[in-house]
Amino acid sequence: MKHNTFEKIRSADVRIAIVRARFNEDITAGLLAGALEALQEAGIPSEKVRVVEVPGSFEVPLAADRLFAAKAADAVVCLGALIQGDTPHFEYISRACASGIMQVGLRHGKPCVFGVITCFTREQAEERSGPGDMNRGREAAKVALEMIEQLGEIA
């Protein structure tokens, strides 16, 4: 598989926004750290990265939509952590969040990346938000860069 070095966009003027849900705060802090690290490694200067916080994953799509509407970002990385509880609430928020994020990307024609983890247990969430390659925030930030590059080539 081709290893993407993001060579083409490294020199470009890309602005990345991260929308981070605060619910399950310790987990989303780990996702945020992973995303920021990946962007730094790709050579994106920190002044080109904006972090917006919202209460929970349900609020993430709206914040992403407003960032694109304000022309404040070339890609939005959406971060949140949904952990299943005793009621069906998890299902409603997960579906609304995933579908909302997809709709925002299509509406604005820009990468709106699904970095929201949906887990059955806290342990699973910890695994996916810790240091290292399993960190889904890190992965989501790389997807944003790759998609900016790909969409630029298509255009």
Among 6, 58, 68, 114, binds ligand RBF (CB under 6 A): 58
Which of these ranges, 62-70, 85-93, 100-108, 137-145, lies near ligand RBF under the rule CB under 6 A?
85-93
Closest CB to ligand RBF: residue number: 56
Among 17, 38, 73, 82, binds ligand RBF (CB under 6 A): 82
The 3-state secondary structure of the chain, one letter per residue: CCCCCCHHHHCCCCCEEEEEECCCHHHHHHHHHHHHHHHHHCCCCHHHEEEEEECCHHHHHHHHHHHHHCCCCCEEEEEEEEECCCCCHHHHHHHHHHHHHHHHHHHHCCCEEEEEEEECCHHHHHHCCCCCCCCHHHHHHHHHHHHHHHHHHHC
Task: Compute the radius of gyration of the chain from its Cα atoms.
Answer: 15
- By beta-carbon proximity to ligand RBF, the closer residue of 43 and 56 is 56
Nearest distance from residue 58's CB to ligand RBF, in Å?
3
State which of residues 30, 61, 80, 137 lies at the interface with ligand RBF (CB under 6 A): 80
> Is 108 designated active site?
no
Task: Find the binding residues for ligand RBF in span 87-116 (CB under 6 A).
Answer: 89, 93
The smaller minimum CB distance to ligand RBF, of residues 78 and 141, is found at 78
Which stretch in 7-15, 81-89, 126-134, 137-145 sits in contact with ligand RBF by CB under 6 A?
81-89
Contacts of 114 (CB under 8 A, 6+ apart): 78, 98, 101, 102, 140
Name the residues that contact ligand RBF, by CB under 6 A.
21, 23-24, 55-59, 80-83, 85, 89, 93
Residues tagged active-site: 89
